[in-house]
Amino acid sequence: MATEFDDSPTGGFRYLIVRPENGGIADLVRGLVRGGEATAVKFVESSDEDLLGAVAVDHRWVILVSVIACKIIAVFGKPMEWTGCLVEFLLNLFSQNGSLLGLLYNLLHGKVVIPQRGSETFISTIGHLDGRIDLYKRDDLVKEVGDSASGEQALMDLCIIAAKLAYENANMHFVDFYNGWNDFQKQCSTQVFILCDKPKDANLILISFRGTEPFDADDWSTDFDYSWYEIPKLGKVHMGFLEALGLGDRANAATFQAHLQVNAGPASTGRMLERTAYYAVRNKLKSLLMEHKKAKFIVTGHSLGGALAILFPTVLLLHEEKEVMQRLLGVYTFGQPRVGNQQLGKFMEAQLDHPIPKYFRVVYCNDLVPRLPYDDNTFLYKHFGVCLYYDSWYIGQKVDEEPNRNYFGSRYLITEYLNAVWELMRSLTMGYMQGPEYKEGWLSIFLRVIGLALPGVSAHSPTNYVNSVRLGKEYISGMSF
């Protein structure tokens, strides 16, 4: 599919950018009290005046909510960053010295191990939440996908473990590792790694994008950002997620247009190859597919990483990378936010659902992130693809949309808090009921306690997704592809 552009300054595509910096608290208060149309316009930049007026009338509340959320996150941005650095340092200090008692012993004997950020032994907060890195059914990965339920389960397990490992640092042993340029954050912060199942004659190439860092305010702002590009023949796409791939720049619409051209590359935009996640991964993938003639590739990610995982093949399709896409085995995402509107969904389903589904979106219970950005008559973002939904008992089912698709409705409020209580109680007994590999540490249990106040946040933990894949046997055995 070739993407066409007209001669207008915006190149034939439309965009809407929410700019929280364009006003203050007083503007927000006036907007909430008086109805919000004039205030919404103040916080919005658009490609044309008609779109700006329509958005101000029809979407004013989503804009105000987006601005409020981003402003709150911005206020706590630096404290979150400092807290994250301190928490990760202390977690690694305890773990590298053998717990608190080990640290005290080493202090007395002058043998304290000081964690070094960026070293192989330094583990992220996500890694401390769930330390499992071994595959559940390694032998089943040799089976052709679709041959058996256990083979499919093994592939899903590989993907969630890889999605977890994407949070770790570049000194782990991967085929290649990138910190790609993020146009939203204006720094190299989009973390992605590539691995092969074996060094020669590989059968599988895996690409895993890092998700939302727990203490990264910019990552959370991306999830709440309402800004979008409308791409001809494709639909509306979340601007922040495209920028995380290095494919957009809200300060320069022409940059985004250049990225959409067929056979686009870093040279056409003046970008350094190694600074842009999409181009770096695309070129490495092409090289690996040429080297491993029988290999297929799979893309995965948790949270924000899930959004990037599905947008990566989306842009491959825009660039008419047909030979590459013929080697796509599947896309598996975990706790992924919405990435575009219904038109985008129809386009991607037409590409990825035939002859068999290749895109699977795994959602655990009350996880907040898959319910963002908002979806109703006012909010345009829609999910697509096969949704594999697991409840708090790890019983799964294939659905079009997860229950309580917008999270904040009163209908599910009591259930959310009851589930949070149940998940806390279960975390204390998992090691006894399911075996030592399911035992949750104090950090995971502490997150469950936080979940008593914010159920959707604790439900987003990768622990829930690993457990869903490994314990959700009732669903896996009943899957049909």
259 is catalytic: no
Of these residues, 66, 95, 189, 303, which one is catalytic? 303
Contact 255, 269 (CB under 8 A): yes
134 is catalytic: no
Concatenated DSSP letters of 174-212:
-SEEEEEEETTTTEEEEEEEEEESSSSS-SEEEEEE---
Within a 10 A sphere around the Cβ of 100, how many other Cβ atoms?
Answer: 10
Residues facing residue 367 across a β-bridge: none
Within a 10 A sphere around the Cβ of 200, how many other Cβ atoms?
Answer: 7
Please give the C-alpha separations between residue 180 and each of 119, 132, 144, 194, 355, in angstroms, as whole numbers: 19, 26, 32, 13, 33
Of these residues, 157, 216, 218, 367, which one is catalytic? 367
Sheet holding 187-196, edge to edge: 176-182, 187-196, 204-209, 296-302, 328-334, 359-364, 386-390, 396-399
Distance, CA of 159 to CA of 359 (rounded, Å): 13
Please give the C-alpha separations between residue 396 and each of 108, 128, 384, 406, in angstroms, as whole numbers: 51, 26, 18, 20
For Cα atoms 208, 214, 218, give the angle at the middle one, nearest 5 degrees: 85
Of these residues, 444, 460, 461, 468, which one is catalytic? 460
Burial 20-44 (b: 16+ CB within 10 A, else e): beebeeebbeebeeeebeebbbbbb
Distance, CA of 129 to CA of 144 (rounded, Å): 32
Q: What share of the chain is helix, strand, coil (3-state, %, to 5)?
A: 50, 15, 35
Distance, CA of 283 to CA of 301 (rounded, Å): 19
176 is catalytic: no
Contact 125, 87 (CB under 8 A): yes
Contact 405, 363 (CB under 8 A): no
Distance, CA of 333 to CA of 369 (rounded, Å): 12
Contact 321, 281 (CB under 8 A): no
- Token pair belonging to 394: 């790890």
Within a 10 A sphere around the Cβ of 382, how many other Cβ atoms?
Answer: 19
Those residues with Cβ within 8 angstroms of residue 429's Cβ, 6 or more apart along the chain or in another chain: none
Q: Which helix (H) or strand (E) holds 359?
A: strand 359-364
Cite the active site residues.
Answer: 303, 367, 460
